[in-house]
Amino acid sequence: MLLVIDIGNTNIVAGGYREGDDSLLFHWRLSTDPHRTADEFGLFFNGLFAYEGLSLRDVREVILSSVVPPLTPALEGMAEKYLGLRPLTVGPGIKTGMNILYEDPKEVGADRIVNSVAGYAKYGGPLIVVDFGTATTFDAISADGAYLGGAIAPGLGISTEALFEHAAQLSHIELVRPKSVIGRTTVSSMQSGIIFGFAGQVDELVRRMKAELGGRAKVVATGGFAPLIAKETSTIDVVDEFLTLEGLRLIYLKNKE
């Protein structure tokens, strides 16, 4: 079994694939805590595998991507101590099969490359991948599969937290779609501004990126808030919840070869 792990700023998402099978067997989402140790992660994964009726001994290979440098050694240490495996970590020197045209390729987050690899493999190009994570990232892939670059905007979660922290009379709310854009309560007004405002941001950035790509591109959304925001946009074609995990699987296969 291949264990794939994506370490994000807000969540760690993991999943499993059987060898020779591209269907995701299971997936888990853990909150990111930069202070967790390799032993704590070992206990976490042991319990999660047991819940699925599996054993850590079923794992034969591990690949991980990370945008949280302090946690990378902890997850690598977990794999070595509890699985007896040296994980493949996405970074410089790893084969992705994608030409990265960023001015400094080392600056591109591993998750953005992983998403782009999976997106191009599944949907072709030109392509725009929108990832609704801690930050909202927009990545452009050319018709021939080159990573061109993109845009980074504040994520929905951190934007709303900033609103709550700096506006004394506004309290935390549930992020659900309001009945109308014109809110008649403070809660519905905030929901409208946040959800429809983010949808408008997405549509405008995608519109401008499409123009630079020659006027056409398929648009794929992923990340925790993708299902909520994508349905309010006019530009997102597909929501692919596990795009990052699929990208990790594909990169593992390229390096195994």
136 occurs within a structural domain: yes
Q: Residue 158, class by beta-carbon neighbours within 10 Å (0-12 exposed, 13-18 middle, 19+ buried)?
A: middle
Residues 75 and 173 in one domain: no
Q: What's the pLDDT at 177?
A: 82
111 occurs within a structural domain: no
Q: What percent of the chain has pLDDT over 70?
A: 95
118 occurs within a structural domain: no
116 occurs within a structural domain: no
219 vs 171: which has the higher pLDDT? 219
* 212 has pLDDT over 80: yes
Residues 142 and 198 in one domain: yes
The CATH number for 185's domain is 3.30.420.40
130 occurs within a structural domain: yes
Residues 70 and 131 in one domain: no
Of 3, 4, 66, 75, nearest in space to 40 by CA: 75
- The domain boundary residue, chosen from 68, 89, 110: 89
252 occurs within a structural domain: no
Output the pTM of the full model: 0.90
Residues 76 and 29 in one domain: yes
Residues 135 and 220 in one domain: yes
Interval 26-37: pLDDT, tens: 999 999 999 999
Averaged pLDDT for residues 100-122: 94
Range of the domain at 58: 2-89
96 occurs within a structural domain: no
Q: What's the pLDDT at 193?
A: 86
Residues 85 and 128 in one domain: no
Could you tell me if 195 and 175 are in contact, meaning their C-beta atoms sit under 8 angstroms apart? yes
Interval 69-79: pLDDT, tens: 999 999 999 99
Averaged pLDDT for residues 116-128: 97
- The domain boundary residue, chosen from 89, 116, 135: 89
Q: Tell me how far apart the alpha carbons of residues 177 and 183 are, in angstroms, rounded to a whole number.
A: 11
Task: Round to the nearest angstrom and report the end-to-end CA distance of the chain.
Answer: 17
Catalytic member of 21, 33, 58, 111: 111
Averaged pLDDT for residues 173-201: 85
Residues 211 and 142 in one domain: yes
Residues 142 and 238 in one domain: yes
* 166 has pLDDT over 70: no
Instruction: Give the total number of structural domains in the chain.
Output: 2
Mean of the per-residue pLDDT values of the chain: 91
Averaged pLDDT for residues 18-28: 87
- The domain boundary residue, chosen from 39, 67, 89: 89
Averaged pLDDT for residues 165-194: 76
Q: Tell me how far apart the alpha carbons of residues 75 and 89 are, in angstroms, rounded to a whole number.
A: 10
Q: What's the pLDDT at 79?
A: 96
* 190 has pLDDT over 90: no
Place of tokens 């007896």: 84
Q: What's the pLDDT at 257?
A: 64
Residues 133 and 83 in one domain: no
Confidence grade of residue 248 (pLDDT, cut at 50, 70, 90)? very high
Residues 137 and 188 in one domain: yes
- Annotation marks residue 39 as catalytic: no
37 occurs within a structural domain: yes
Residues 40 and 138 in one domain: no
Residue 256 vs residues 2, 16, 63, 94, 122: alpha-carbon distances, Å: 12, 17, 11, 11, 20
* 169 has pLDDT over 70: no
Of 59, 50, 44, 54, nearest in space to 12 by CA: 44
Q: What percent of the chain has pLDDT over 90?
A: 73
212 vs 22: which has the higher pLDDT? 212
* 20 has pLDDT over 90: no
